[in-house]
Chains A and B, each alone.
Chain A
Amino acid sequence: MKGSDSMNALRIDNLQVDIGDQTLLKDISLQVKKGSVVALLGHNGAGKSTLLRTIIGMNEKVKGTIEVCGHDMDSAFLTYKRHISYLPEEPMLLSELTVDQHFQMYGLAYEMREDILEERTNMYVTAFELEDKRDHYPEELSKGMRQKVQAICACLPDVPLLLIDEPFMGLDIYAMDYMEQMLRQKASEGVTIMISSHQLELIRNIADEFILLQHGTCIESGAIDTFDTIKRGSDL
């Protein structure tokens, strides 16, 4: 994952994140090449979601720098954010907007052209079998459907970096299959993907590289083929 700055989609240096007295992430330094798919691995509480949330700006960092495609988080936050799309673990849908209105909201936030938005929305909605749910509110959808809507939202914009937190949770087998295809497609288009998941077999099929987190620090990284397994918490 090392390389020159122009080759990197994401660069993190000496990152530390605290909440209250507790340090959640410490001394995280990493670089992710453009177009690569990086699996973020680790036990529950290792800091995977915290890292993703910090990159998107939801968690404040205590120290360190984060750059996406050369844009520093602290000097040009809006430009920086325009380069990232985030799929959270739990759907963050607004109860006041319907499914279609959510897609429009993402389209407008990322300044997408209406025809492109329409085309992509139709494609994803058909693939995820949500055609008859487009004018539904989140409360009228099952958890899996909400996850699908959130996944579509995150995949709509053309961004160089896609952050994905547990994408397969709550999805049926067909949706999981399509999700995998969709991520492969994105990766083939040159999108860098950082994905956190406990579904190791699925992740092995998608990812090129891995980062192993433990107690908020990065303990190992490399090509996904070289990754063995996550040790039991009691063995650490």
Chain B
Amino acid sequence: MTVNRTLFTMYRTIKRSRFKKKKNIYKQVYRMSFDKTVLLYALALLGYIITAVFISGNFTNPLQNGFAFLEEIGTRNFLVVISIYPLRYMFQAFRQPGIILSSSEYQLSILPFGLRDVWNVIVLEKWMKRIGGGLILWLMFVVTPLPNTLTGAYILTLVLIDIGMTAPLWRMYQQRLLPKLAIFLGAVLLIGLLIYIEPILASVVVFISIILWNVFAWKHLLKQVDWGRVVEGSDHKVWKMPLISSITKVPFKREKRIYVLQKLKFRRKKFDYHAASIHHRLWHSYVLKNVRVLFQMFGILLGFMTAMIFVNPFIFYLSIAISVYIFTKMSASLFYDRFKTDVLEVLPWDVSSFRKSFLRWNLYGGVLLIVPIIAYDIFHLTWWVPLEVALIISVAIYALNNELERASVLLAKSKREFFISDAFVVIGLFAIVFTGTYPFVSLLTIVFGFLCVQQRRRL
């Protein structure tokens, strides 16, 4: 592996500039978010706590047992740990190429340097960092009661595996999903089996496999590389700043590519020429793109309602009302967002027709939210239960349609008052809250059923 010195200097400059840029972003966000005085007091308090811990005595004493335990576990399982450790890189290959070759590094190949030279420089820097980091980590462990030979052996082996897995991880990342999955599952099974037979055998096989894999990987290092994917994955890793993201509320999304779906032949066929078929595809793609947010929302709401079952009936019905409210607001905001994203923004869609197809997708989500309600009702079965469930569903449908109507009005840049319908939503939500305590409230289902029919007629 030869390394071009000029290229190395340029690469370091890029990294330094990137570091400075990130530092400035962090600085700006900190300036906006934290008050200097509060920060100063917080630091003073932290300093006081640390000093108090040191003054109060030998702080390592309470940890002595822990270190002894660690030493015992570490010694006994050394071979197991180093046999399993390469699996971490194989798992990583599903998302990351292992080395960061972002769009900036890729630009270097436009200059008179080959991509292989750029790759070499990045890898060399990564290895140097790993070795340096390993050394620092080992020095930190020197002050602990753990034997230096044990920590040294662990750190040295793990750094060696890290270096040894660079090229295999890079090659594995380039594989398609199924071969990648087969390699990973095969490795899990083989290593598991060998550990079960004899851990030393597992470690020897793992080390020999890494060496052989390296021979192959280095030979075919830059063959059939999807540079677009490498750059996209690296850009995401470089600029993903979770703290900034959470403070600024700006999500650092990874560009989603629906490779697997694109491979399906039937998806390339033309649609039946009517609105419903294209709406369905557009919503399907949109749901897939936002699947993480949707999982989070449904997970939180389901968890919330399930937990409230065990508190008391009133609180449980309150949690249902809150969940209906959040669900409808979230759905409406997704609906609005769909028309403010990509080419749909410039097309003159008939929003009401889109709304009908969107309601179908909401039905799938709504069914999920019914699960805790049914679970609760099974244990609190009365004659009122069907009416209660009907009330919840009718209020949810009415509130959802109301929110979607509001979003449609916004999209059409028109103005309309929602005072009366909003009032009905509030009444409906309160009715849900009190239906657990006063079941006769669920008779309001008739009213909300009627309102839903009226809404549907207007659509």
Contacts and interface: CB of A to CB of B under 8 A. Distances in A.
Same assembly: yes
Interface of A: 56-58, 73-78, 81-82, 84, 86, 88, 92-98, 100-101, 104-111, 114, 117, 135, 137, 139
A81 B343 contact: no
B40 interface: no
B459 to A, nearest CB: 15
B65 interface: no
Interface of B: 257-258, 261-262, 268-271, 273-275, 278, 281-282, 285, 342-343, 345-351, 411-414
B86 to A, nearest CB: 33
A98 B270 CA distance: 8
Contacts of B346: 56-58, 81, 86, 88, 92
Contacts of A95: 257-258, 262
Contacts, number: 78
Given A75-B414, A101-B271, A104-B271, A96 B350 contact: no
Contacts of A75: 414
- The 4 A-B pairs at the shortest CB distance, nearest first, are namely A81-B348, A96-B285, A109-B347, A92-B343
B342 A92 contact: yes
Nearest to A98: B268
Nearest to A74: B413
B278 to A, nearest CB: 6
Contact of B268 (A74, A111, A135): A135
Given A94-B342, A95-B257, A104-B271, A77 B281 contact: no
Contacts of A106: 347
Q: With a 10 A CB-CB cut-off, give which of A75, A86, A104 has the most chain B CB atoms.
A: A104
A104 B278 contact: yes
A100 B267 CA distance: 11
A96 B281 contact: yes
A78 B273 contact: no
B363 to A, nearest CB: 22
9 contacts: A58-B346, A78-B349, A92-B343, A92-B346, A94-B342, A94-B343, A105-B282, A109-B347, A114-B273
Q: With a 10 A CB-CB cut-off, give which of B275, B348, B411 has the most chain A CB atoms.
A: B348
Nearest to A60: B413
A105 B378 CA distance: 46
Contacts of A94: 282, 285, 342-343
B228 to A, nearest CB: 8
Nearest to B265: A135
B343 A104 contact: no
Contact of B275 (A73, A84, A108): A108
